[in-house]
Amino acid sequence: MATTSAAPSRRALPFPVALARPAALVERNLRAARHYWLTFVSGFFEPVFYLFAMGVGIGALVGSVEVDGREIPYAVFVAPAMMATSAMNGAVYDSTGNVFYKLKHSKLYRSVLSTPLRPWDIAAGEISWALLRGLIYSAAFLLVAAVAGFVPSWWALLAIPACTLIGLGFAAVGMAATTYMRSWNDMDYVQLAILPMFLFSATFYPLATYPPVLQWVVQATPLYHGVDLVRALTMGDLHAGLLVHVAYLAVFSAFGLWATTRRIGKLLLT
């Protein structure tokens, strides 16, 4: 049944086939998700609950918000922020907890590395999967927000790729951070990074609400750039400044990818 005639030429994958390797890991995750479909579906609801709590509940308390001299309903202001933060949360959730489980408990990556897959393939595969999931959630969220009347512009469709970029950055950096985690208790440190961003990235109220010094701090965080980008798109407020946001997030992502690849190799190929 097993023979010695395995042809090495077929097995040594040529370069274009290289993308097949991360794809194999995506396929693995897709199969696993089929057994955990309820978890998958539940991921969609969290941002929607937030959207209605904030948009409807808090919206009734706030009324309208002034952005760039324009009065807009609070729900319209907060909906893109919820979309951007859920892209961050989903990516972080996938790339920290789930990846930690595979790294430490199931030893999945150890098995994978005894096959032709390399550390880069693992990083690319896991992050692609996080993006794929994020893409589905973002699209569904946008649909719900639009139906609820919180999305005034068609440019909002571009918010989907924008959220994918947010997800890429946070998934890559999150996965790199996970390689430093020693136990589940360290997941709390992930919260320490995520929660302040969630609350203070001009998500729930405009940047102008902050004192000038804090405005600089807020503007330094990656989520701020994500929120501002998505908000501009859903409101149809396009301008060249958005490219700065895109560039920031692109650099953030590249750094995460580089760090993850390095760390996986360092941890598992010793």
The residues that touch other proteins, with contacts defined as CB under 8 A, are 1-6, 8, 11-13, 17, 20-21, 24-25, 27-28, 31-32, 35-36, 38-39, 42-43, 45-46, 49-50, 53, 56-58, 60-63, 65, 106-108, 110-118, 184-186, 188-189, 191-192, 195-196, 199-200, 204-205, 209-210, 268-270
Nearest CB to other proteins, comparing residues 114 and 240: 114
**Shortest approach of other proteins to residue 20 CB, angstroms?**
5
The answer to whether the CB of 57 falls within 8 A of the CB of 82 is no
Nearest CB to other proteins, comparing residues 5 and 213: 5
**Shortest approach of other proteins to residue 257 CB, angstroms?**
20
Q: What residues contact residue 171 under an 8 Å CB cut-off, 6+ apart?
A: 91, 92, 94, 95, 126, 127, 130, 131, 134, 256
Nearest CB to other proteins, comparing residues 238 and 266: 266
- Return d(Cα 262, Cα 95) in angstroms, integer: 16
The answer to whether the CB of 145 falls within 8 A of the CB of 79 is yes
**Shortest approach of other proteins to residue 162 CB, angstroms?**
23
Tokens of 108: 């999945």
Provide the angle, in degrees to the nearest 10, between the axes of the packed helices 222-234 and 159-178: 160
Sign, CA torsion 213/217/219/224: negative
**Shortest approach of other proteins to residue 13 CB, angstroms?**
6
Sign, CA torsion 44/80/91/209: negative
Nearest CB to other proteins, comparing residues 63 and 212: 63
**Shortest approach of other proteins to residue 250 CB, angstroms?**
28
CA triple 77-83-86, angle to 5 deg: 135
Nearest CB to other proteins, comparing residues 58 and 242: 58
